[in-house]
């Protein structure tokens, strides 16, 4: 009786696992909308393209954030959005998911790329660290719409201190974590972190040169055909403009 019970339990567990995998594989498809700049949009699009799920972005949807046709521009849909902002993921059932990290985690969940065990924990750590890096960068590095000394932006001294003093400890910590070999490869958190570091490497190409583990991981993702498709503007989202720029 005990053996039969165990066998039945094992069969049930296997059936549940198969159901979850099947549900993840089908996914149902989703849509992504964002402005045509990297900023907080590059990460979700990379996670989507690497997910194996069916999805559509700006280009296929005919969505043009600024000045697009009726119903297909940000101004027309803003009041319907959960927080009145982009990026936006819309499920096949029409449900809206806002906030970049929620979108990244949702795609990871339906695609099975969120990792498990320690990989899951590290992936979540990388998402949190990517958010910290973005916030710090946004305060100290000019963008195509906001120069230094405007709004929350610091001055030239703050810009220089960001690259020489504030950012390096974060990169050193990531180097140590990357050497451990868990959570960076094939996870949604790893891809989101890449999306932020890539924007920094566009300004300082040698940024990761003295951090071999992090550089090797970065180069691996950069060389992936799915990443190349996104960065070249050939994905369903279309082209992205560089958001953060070097101080003139």
Q: What is the DSSP string of 110-147?
A: HHT-S--THHHHHHHHHHHHHHHHHHHHHHHS-BSS--
Query: Residue 119 above 50 pLDDT?
Result: yes
At 8 the pLDDT is 43
Q: Given 3-state DSSP classes, what are the helix, strand and coil percentages for the chain, each rounded to the nearest 5? A: 55, 5, 40
Crossing angle, helix 2-26 and helix 100-111, to 10 degrees? Answer: 130
At 24 the pLDDT is 45
More confident residue, 33 or 11: 33
The 10s digit of each residue's pLDDT in 58-79 is 999 999 999 999 999 999 999 9
The 10s digit of each residue's pLDDT in 12-31 is 334 333 334 334 444 579 99
At 10 the pLDDT is 44
Strand ranges (E), the chain:
30-33, 55-56, 88-91, 96-98
More confident residue, 8 or 141: 141
Mind listing the domains of the chain with CATH numbers?
30-248 (1.20.1050.130)
At 248 the pLDDT is 79
Question: What average pLDDT score do residues 106-117 get?
Answer: 97
At 72 the pLDDT is 97
Strands of 55-56's sheet, edge to edge?
55-56, 30-33, 88-91, 96-98
């Amino acid at each position: 009786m005990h053996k039969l019970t165990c066998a039945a339990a094992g069969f049930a567990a296997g059936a549940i696992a198969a159901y979850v995998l099947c549900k993840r594989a089908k996914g149902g498809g989703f849509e992504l909308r964002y402005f045509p700049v990297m900023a907080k949009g590059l990460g979700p699009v990379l996670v989507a393209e690497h997910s194996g799920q069916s999805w559509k972005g700006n280009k296929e949807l005919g969505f043009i954030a600024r000045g697009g046709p009726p119903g297909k521009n940000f101004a027309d849909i803003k009041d319907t959005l959960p927080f009145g902002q982009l990026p936006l993921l819309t499920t096949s059932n029409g449900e809206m998911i806002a906030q970049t990290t929620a979108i990244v985690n949702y795609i990871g969940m339906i695609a099975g790329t969120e990792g498990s065990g320690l990989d899951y924990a590290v992936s979540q750590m990388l998402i949190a660290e990517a958010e910290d890096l973005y916030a710090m960068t946004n305060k100290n590095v000019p963008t195509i719409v906001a120069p230094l000394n405007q709004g929350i932006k610091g001055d030239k001294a703050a810009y220089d201190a960001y690259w020489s003093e504030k950012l390096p400890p974060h990169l050193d910590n990531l180097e140590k974590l990357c050497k451990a070999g868990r959570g960076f490869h094939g996870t949604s958190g790893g891809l989101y972190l890449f999306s932020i570091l890539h924007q920094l490497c566009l300004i300082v190409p040698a940024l990761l040169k003295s951090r071999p583990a992090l550089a090797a991981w970065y180069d691996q993702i950069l060389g992936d055909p799915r990443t190349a498709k996104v960065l070249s503007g050939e994905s369903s989202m279309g082209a992205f403009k560089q958001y953060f720029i070097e101080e003139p």
